[in-house]
Amino acid sequence: MELRDSDKEWQKDAPVLASISKDNPFTVPEGYFNTLSEQLKSRALIESKQIKDSDGFTVPEAYFTGLSQRIQGRIVLESTLSKNKEQGLQLPESYFETLSDRIQARIGKKKSHWLSYAAAACITMVIGSVIYFNSSQYTISRKLSDVSDQEIINYLQLHTTVSDNQFIIEHLNTEELQQVNNDISEQELELYINNTTL
Amino acid sequence: MQVEDSVILEKFSKESTRTEGFNLLLNKYQQKIYWHIRRLVIDHDDTDDLVQDVFIKVWNNLSGFRNESQLFTWLYRIATNESISFLNRKKLRNSVSLDDDLIGQELINTLADSPYFDGDKAQMKLQKALLSLPEKQRLVFNMKYFDDLKYDEISEILGTSVGALKASFHLAVKKIEQILVNSD
């Protein structure tokens, strides 16, 4: 009675509202509630299969299966990293502070080495040149000794020039000049001078 | 004939019959809970998600139910809290304040675009008028007007006194009537 009276009360206050149908205007896809039941049953089954401890906390499925391997892998990784830290990439104390001085010292050593090599090379060249030129003269003297005086005279008469005569004159020493004078008479000298022009 | 709540609870309490008890519970309450949520959140897909969340919570927590209240008020309470939380998250996602007017307008838009609304023009006007009400007032109106629940039961669900609920319902009726009259 009370419910009906209260129902009537609000209908008196709201006639437009009261005239509107109370039928459910909302709809659902066909077969929805059957599907919903099955879905809920499946989910409940999944929930019940999850691992629970006494506190009601759960873990992901198959969590403990791989846990041991993950822990071992982590141990190997951590130990490898710590070894690398000990063995590699460490520097001696004050390395960079002394680096500059050490580099300079090495440059200095390299320079003295270079000089010593150069000096040795020069000396070698000098000695070698001396030997070479001396040997040349000796060879020339040996070869000239095989040639007769008349052949030398004939060669000089054919091939000497005025400049050669001047060279010979300038390079005669006193002893050689004296010898030439002894071999040539005054008349031959006078005749030579009158017939040649310098 | 519907199964008694006591039978459902009895079967659920035993490991061997828990699934059977859950099935009985679903058969009895799944549609009631669905429509209760649907009237609040409007969209079918959102409702579907929430219904599933509610019943999974029921599955996980029914063992701890202590008969201090009726089973269906306990179910309604869970469903109501899930729905209110959802609407609050929706408000925050849209970067708006927890303002009923703005979320109300969004739900009106959802209603207008929904393929799962089969009502006539008047029913559409009524739903739009409802969506302009504050959330709790809309809750009370739905449970009283559509679900035909007693004020005691609504009090148990919402934790609000019967007097406050009666006042809230009558205010809601007046507002809706005003909106319906002015909309013509």
Same domain, B87 and B53: yes
User: Do B141 and B74 belong together in one domain?
Assistant: no
CB–CB of B122 and A37 under 8 A? no
What does the alpha-carbon distance between residue B55 and residue B65 come to, in Å, rounded to a whole number? Answer: 14
Count of domains for chain A: 2
B8, B48: one domain: yes
pLDDT at residue A142 in the model: 61
Mutating which of A26, A42, A55, A58 best tests the B interface, going by the most B Cβ atoms within 10 A? Answer: A26
Amino acid letter, residue B101: D
Last residue of a domain, one of A86, A102, A133: A86
Q: What is the reported pLDDT for B26?
A: 94
Residue B13's Cβ-side half-sphere holds a number of Cα atoms within 13 Å equal to 10
Distances (CA, A) of A25 to A4, A50, B119, B121: 24, 40, 4, 10
Same domain for B139 and B69: no
- With H, G, I as helix, E, B as strand and everything else as coil, classify residue A61: coil
- Token code pair at residue A103: 């580099």
What range defines the domain where residue B176 resides? 118-184
Q: Quick one: tokens of A51?
A: 């691992």
CA–CA separation, A62 and A50 (whole Å): 9
SS3 B117: strand
Q: Are residues B145 and B66 in the same domain?
A: no
- Specify if A73 maps to a domain: yes
* DSSP 8-class letter at A197: -
Report the number of distinct structural domains present in chain B.
2
Question: Same structural domain for residues B71 and B125?
Answer: no
CB-based contacts of B63: which residues, under 8 Å, 6+ apart?
B12, B13
A116-135 pLDDT, tens digit each: 777 888 888 888 777 766 66
Q: Find the mean pLDDT for residues B142-148.
A: 93
Considering only the beta carbons, identify the residue of A17, A21, A23 that sits closest to B177. Answer: A17
In Å, how far from its chain's centre is CA A119?
Answer: 34
Got the DSSP string for A113-140? HHHHHHHHHHHHHHHHHHHHHHHHHHHH
**Termini Cα distance of chain A:** 172
pTM, entire model: 0.60
- Determine contact, residues A27/B116, Cβ cutoff 8 Å: yes
The rounded distance, in Å, linking the Cα atoms of A18 and B36 is: 21
Point out which residues pair with A58 in neighbouring strands. A52
Ranges of residues in chain A whose predicted pLDDT is under 70: 1-8, 51-58, 61, 84-91, 107-113, 132-145, 157-167, 169-172, 177-181, 183-184, 186, 189-198
Q: Which amino acid is at B4?
A: E
- Of A46-50, B14-18, B132-136, B172-176, highest mean pLDDT: B172-176
Q: What is the CATH number of the domain that holds B133?
A: 1.10.10.10
State the pLDDT confidence band at B21, using cuts at 50, 70 and 90: very high
Contact at CB, B26 and A40, closer than 8 angstroms: yes
Residues B153 and B70 in one domain: no
The CATH number linked to B64 is 1.10.1740.10
Shared domain for B86 and B161, answered yes or no, is no
Q: Are residues B53 and B17 in the same domain?
A: yes
Residues B88 and B179 in one domain: no
pLDDT in tens, A34-60: 999 999 999 998 888 874 544 556 677
Q: Bigger pLDDT: B78 or A53? A: B78
Least confident of B29-38, B62-71, B92-101: B92-101
For residue B3, report the phi and psi dihedrals to the nearest 5 degrees: -75, 145
- Within a domain: residue A130? no
Structure confidence at residue B100 as a pLDDT band (50, 70, 90): low
Residue A189 lies in a domain: yes
Q: How far is it, in rounded angstroms, from Cα B108 to Cα A55?
A: 44
Among A44, A66, A86, residue at a domain's last position: A86
pLDDT of residue A1: 41
Q: Are residues B86 and B130 in the same domain?
A: no
Domain that holds residue A74: 28-86
Could you tell me which residue, A3 or B66, shows the higher pLDDT?
Answer: B66
pLDDT tens for B22-45 read: 999 999 999 999 999 999 999 999
* Greater pLDDT, A93 or B46: B46
Asked if the structure places residue B108 within a domain, the reply is no
Q: Is residue A60 part of a domain?
A: yes
Interface residues of A toward B, Cβ cutoff 8 Å, are 3, 10, 13-17, 19-29, 32-33, 36-37, 39-41, 43-45, 47-48
Alpha carbons B59 and B55: distance in angstroms, whole number: 6
